[in-house]
Structure 1
Amino acid sequence: MKLWSSTTSLAALLALLNAGAMAATNDTVSTAGLQSTQCVSSTESTDLYPTKSKVKYATGFSIAYHNTYKVVENRSTNNTYVLYQCGSTKPTVKNVSAFIPVPVKSSAAWATTAAIFLEALGVQNTVKNLGTAPSLVSACLQELLKDVIEPFNDSNSTDTDHQEQKNDVVFNMPGGQDTNTTNTVYSTEYLETSALGRSEWVKFFGAFFNAEERANKLFDSIDSNYQCFATKAEKEYDDIRPVIAWTSYAGPTQFNNNTAYWQISFASYKYDIVRDAGARMLNTTGKQSTMFSTSPAFLRALRDVDIVIDESFVSYNYSTLLKNYGIADPKQANYSWVATGRVFRPDRIQSTSGGLGWFEAPVAFADALLQDLIGVAHPKFVKDGYKHIWFRNLAKSDPVTVVTAGDCTDMYAPRKNPAGSCQLIDFQSANPSDSDYSDVEQSRTHDLVYDVSKSEVINDGSSSHSNDSAAARLTTSLVAGALAVLSALAML
């Protein structure tokens, strides 16, 4: 046997081994949990989808099954999509927005939330194009964006159309920059009124890949874990429920007529998850988000709040937040959330360009979001102290975790749920004498209501877009890039 002694021969061998490794990686993409992976003949008439998804919490979509096709409806946008098995006869259905052969072999997604659902299903091997690429925090999607997935060229509509047309399906959000409608599918998971409803959209995406088994299994585990967290939180913290306010500040810019405003958010899904976390929600007599024209009016609404979660569109330190909120001297401020230093931002996980993980995995994994919020409301709910996933305490200068492609270990593996197993967590009972609860009014479980009738309010949030409009704006391809830049600049 002749030894490989030359540099050229060694390089050739390494190249061969590398190519083999890459081929093995692609060949080992799992097909478990997928049904009807092959095309059929046009005469096929048997039920190809014995495993079906049933909607439990979500109100924004529905799925109806037939032998060789499915009818998926987005109820928020009134769009109907017919998914028919490749090779079968295209069904006759009226008022259809798009006919999509399934299982989908090539896909694209504009919004970060859609991309994470595809990764959670383990079908990222089908993804050819992604929007808002610089904002993506997922390590493995970042890795795939190096050589496998091509970012959308959103600066050239002609190029974008060509990219879209190469895919079987393009997942987008209403109002996105998409002029090609033949394979466009709108997803509106962000409009759901419950956290579990948002996560259940995994079934919507799963239908396009005949991945009902995967989607059902994943969601059932999320649902079960969520219910366990909610049950334990209710048992341990029913008498000690801090008040949480979701707030934000917008400085004067050309986009708001150079007029600053302060906002309290009341997205519907936040109500349920705050209560399930053993806390109470700051409510107002307005409907959804309420915007204040002056900081004193805004601060009056926060007078009896215990915890503030700041969702401003820029990242900054604690002193800047206090300044923006109109608090000159925190030692003189008579607010519980200032005195106890319980000011959080959901920006703990970021990409190198400042994209927030908050607009990715929390939508897909409601149980992880609930677990993290319990940690905000009750920081000592685990014996050894809780380490947050997405929230960081701004008052305590908690650090930011930057995720890079180097953090990916298997770019084709399904996205792992970051939640811990509730059954394995030993909840610690709340102690009223603890400093974390010293200013929390006990024995009250209803939300705190603030009357805005005498305040300087810009609007009462009655717009139809007020339901979590911040998340919707941030995840659209039109603004995500700009916000990521602003966020990155603000960190300098």
Structure 2
Amino acid sequence: MVAKIASLLAIATVAISSVAAQAPTANLINGQCVTTYDASVDYFPEKLNTNEDKATYFSIEYHNNYKIVKNSRTGRTYVLVQCGTPAPTDVNNATEIYQVPITKAAAMETTVVPYLEMIGAAESIKLIADGSLVSSPCFQKYLNTGDIAQLSATNETLQAEQIKNVQVQFGANPYDTVADTNNTVTTAQTYEPDVLGRASWLSYYAAFYNLESVANNLTKNMTDNYNRLKEAASHYSTKPVVAWTTYDAPSQYNNNTASYILSEASYKVGLTNDAGATMLNATSTTFASAADLLKAISNVDILIDETFIGSNLTAFLQNYNISEADQSKYKFLTNKKVYREDGILTSSGGYDWFEAPVAMADALLEDMINAVNPSAPSDNYKRNWLRNIVLNEPIKTTTESNCSWAEDAPRPNLATQFNGNAFTLSSSSSSDANKVRTLNIAGALAAAVATLAYLS
């Protein structure tokens, strides 16, 4: 009897040990699949901490062997099933099911690339819609390895075959003439109303790779750094007024009628405020003539020109019909504070503005802080994206020779970790940018070294 009980206990112990051995302490990554499935095991011990991010357009729900990701902006739902385990059966036909972790992906929108780079999944991209527009120097280097295909723009048969060779397609196919079909993981990061919310989509992409712990660390560090920078820039007694403007030149898309636009995009308002400035409060956002716009912005301290055409001051003055004699009428010109978003471009004209700063919230805030206060966040800070055309600052063109990190590891954030004191802004800064100073110099050398390493 004793021997029988001992035998049963031994069997039970072996069974319990077998189940315990199957329960992972970390998510399975890099294509790892479950070999022996147990319905009682939680295969995602590392979960997204979405309570601390500011994304509003996606959510995630965890089950033992699958997760449900919802993009509320597009109304799409995705079930991500741990490979080696069964998919749930109670899924409607409109829901797409993917086996995770993903190892082969297509990036149909350039904005997707920096997110996958930052979580260390860039080399999972095996298909790209137009690699010439991707500004990341290390991704440009990866493009030349031959491990990634360019999506055919004209051969539909080849295009379909290329897409079949990947597990997931992030973003809409730009060459697809048919309306959005049920084979794409939709994106919505650029619709987020908050700078940190846009960066929080790191978590959305990480879920497809079981890289939740990586995303959690990135989001926390970025959010903390952003908030420290925001706090340091919040004490100016006088807040400069900023306007984001666009000249919409006559074209077939606007009935050959020019117009001028003041942007009031929520993330730009938040970014401006967080940098220690304030957005122009205008009664109108669209103007039929340059004269009407200029009347509205004559007292603006800082202007950010988002016009696609015209990369220098001469072109800017022509686009806005500002004569040499009239330049002294506008504070943003006497302050020498007119910026464009083309600080980093590819050789074919692709804007990094639509890529890295979307995913790097704190780095973007650093740029905006420096546009407001040229001696913050450090004396030697060099802006990445906002380029001062009054000072004739050069455009930086990225090539693979600029690559300073490995694409098989997480891409470094361009932001410097800030731990300094509150910034100070002279009372005359709105009328004389050269007089703006700050007491804080913490991180100056680190910022300079990081920028040189990236762009040299």
For the criterion TM > 0.5, the same-fold answer is: yes
Indicate how the Cα distance of structure 1 residues 325 and 65 shifts in structure 2: closer, same or farther if over 3 A, else same: same
Distance 1:89 1:297 in 2: 63
Q: What is the SS of the residue equivalent to 2:153?
A: coil
Deviations along 1:90-133, one digit per CA (max 9) or x if unpaired, are 11243343100000010011111111101111111211011231
Indicate how the Cα distance of structure 1 residues 382 and 57 shifts in structure 2: closer, same or farther if over 3 A, else same: closer
Q: Is the 8 A contact 1:100 1:183 kept in 2?
A: no
Gaps of 5+ in 2: 1-24, 436-456
Q: Is the 8 A contact 2:232 2:423 kept in 1?
A: no
Q: Which residue of 2 aligns with 1:230?
A: 230
Residue type of the alignment partner of 1:277: A
Q: Which residue of 2 aligns with 1:352?
A: 347
Q: Which residue of 2 aligns with 1:76?
A: 73
Q: Is the 8 A contact 1:381 1:430 kept in 2?
A: no
Deviation at 1:83, TM superposition (A): 0.2
Q: Which residue of 1 aligns with 2:33?
A: 39
Distance 2:250 2:423 in 1: 44
Residue type of the alignment partner of 1:406: S
Distance 1:168 1:253 in 2: 40
Deviation at 1:272, TM superposition (A): 1.1
Residue type of the alignment partner of 2:311: Y
Q: Which residue of 2 aligns with 1:107?
A: 105
Q: How does 1:17-166 map to 2 (within 5 A)?
A: 35=28, 38-41=32-35, 43-45=37-39, 46-55=41-50, 56-95=53-92, 96-146=94-144, 147-166=146-165
Indicate how the Cα distance of structure 1 residues 277 and 330 shifts in structure 2: closer, same or farther if over 3 A, else same: farther
Distance 2:312 2:259 in 1: 19
Deviation at 1:427, TM superposition (A): 5.0
Deviates more, 1:67-76 or 1:262-271: 262-271
Deviates more, 1:185-194 or 1:94-103: 94-103
Residue type of the alignment partner of 2:63: H
Deviation at 1:413, TM superposition (A): 2.6
Q: What is the SS of the residue equivalent to 2:234?
A: helix
1:422 equivalent to 2:418? Answer: yes
Deviations along 1:422-446, one digit per CA (max 9) or x if unpaired, are 11x4554112145755899xxxxxx
Indicate how the Cα distance of structure 1 residues 429 and 104 shifts in structure 2: closer, same or farther if over 3 A, else same: same
Deviation at 1:416, TM superposition (A): 1.1
Count of paired positions: 403
Q: Which residue of 1 aligns with 2:275?
A: 277
Q: Which residue of 1 aligns with 2:203?
A: 203
Residue type of the alignment partner of 1:201: W
**TM score, norm. by length of structure 2:** 0.83
Distance 1:33 1:340 in 2: 54
Deviation at 1:44, TM superposition (A): 2.6
Deviation at 1:364, TM superposition (A): 0.3
Deviations along 1:221-274, one digit per CA (max 9) or x if unpaired, are 110000000011113x2x121111111112212222211111111111111111
Indicate how the Cα distance of structure 1 residues 40 and 77 shifts in structure 2: closer, same or farther if over 3 A, else same: same
Deviation at 1:211, TM superposition (A): 0.4
Q: What is the SS of the residue equivalent to 2:347?
A: coil
Deviations along 1:436-462, one digit per CA (max 9) or x if unpaired, are 55899xxxxxxxxxxxxxxxxxxxxxx
1:316 equivalent to 2:311? Answer: yes
Distance 1:225 1:260 in 2: 41
Q: Which residue of 2 aligns with 1:404?
A: 399
Q: Which residue of 1 aligns with 2:19?
A: none
Distance 1:330 1:367 in 2: 39
Residue type of the alignment partner of 1:325: Y
Residue type of the alignment partner of 1:275: N
Indicate how the Cα distance of structure 1 residues 216 and 438 shifts in structure 2: closer, same or farther if over 3 A, else same: closer
Q: What is the SS of the residue equivalent to 2:427?
A: coil
Q: Is the 8 A contact 1:152 1:160 kept in 2?
A: yes
Deviates more, 1:326-335 or 1:388-397: 326-335
Q: Which residue of 1 aligns with 2:3?
A: none
1:218 equivalent to 2:212? Answer: no
Q: Which residue of 1 aligns with 2:184?
A: 184
Indicate how the Cα distance of structure 1 residues 330 and 34 shifts in structure 2: closer, same or farther if over 3 A, else same: farther
Deviations along 1:169-222, one digit per CA (max 9) or x if unpaired, are 000149873758454100110000000000000000000000001111111111
Distance 1:176 1:104 in 2: 24
Q: Which residue of 2 aligns with 1:16?
A: none
Distance 1:296 1:93 in 2: 61
Deviations along 1:371-411, one digit per CA (max 9) or x if unpaired, are 11000011122553431111110111001111101112423
Q: Which residue of 1 aligns with 2:364?
A: 369
Q: Which residue of 1 aligns with 2:438?
A: none
Distance 2:46 2:128 in 1: 29
Indicate how the Cα distance of structure 1 residues 53 and 265 shifts in structure 2: closer, same or farther if over 3 A, else same: same
Indicate how the Cα distance of structure 1 residues 151 and 397 shifts in structure 2: closer, same or farther if over 3 A, else same: same
Distance 2:412 2:386 in 1: 19
Q: Is the 8 A contact 2:337 2:433 kept in 1?
A: no
Distance 1:298 1:174 in 2: 37
Distance 1:67 1:437 in 2: 60
Q: 2:247 aligns with which of 232, 249, 253?
A: 249
Structure number with higher relative contact order (C-alpha < 8 Å, ≥ 6 residues apart): 1
Gaps of 5+ in 1: 1-31, 441-492
Deviates more, 1:413-422 or 1:184-193: 413-422
Indicate how the Cα distance of structure 1 residues 240 and 337 shifts in structure 2: closer, same or farther if over 3 A, else same: same
Q: Is the 8 A contact 1:33 1:212 kept in 2?
A: no
Q: 2:409 aligns with which of 408, 413, 416?
A: 413
Q: Is the 8 A contact 2:245 2:263 kept in 1?
A: yes
Q: Is the 8 A contact 1:247 1:264 kept in 2?
A: yes
Indicate how the Cα distance of structure 1 residues 330 and 78 shifts in structure 2: closer, same or farther if over 3 A, else same: farther
Distance 1:399 1:431 in 2: 27
Residue type of the alignment partner of 2:125: V
Q: Which residue of 1 aligns with 2:261?
A: 263
Q: Is the 8 A contact 1:362 1:368 kept in 2?
A: yes
Distance 1:383 1:97 in 2: 49
Q: Is the 8 A contact 2:262 2:286 kept in 1?
A: yes
Deviates more, 1:76-85 or 1:257-266: 257-266
Q: Is the 8 A contact 1:40 1:85 kept in 2?
A: yes
**TM score, norm. by length of structure 1:** 0.77
Indicate how the Cα distance of structure 1 residues 301 and 436 shifts in structure 2: closer, same or farther if over 3 A, else same: closer
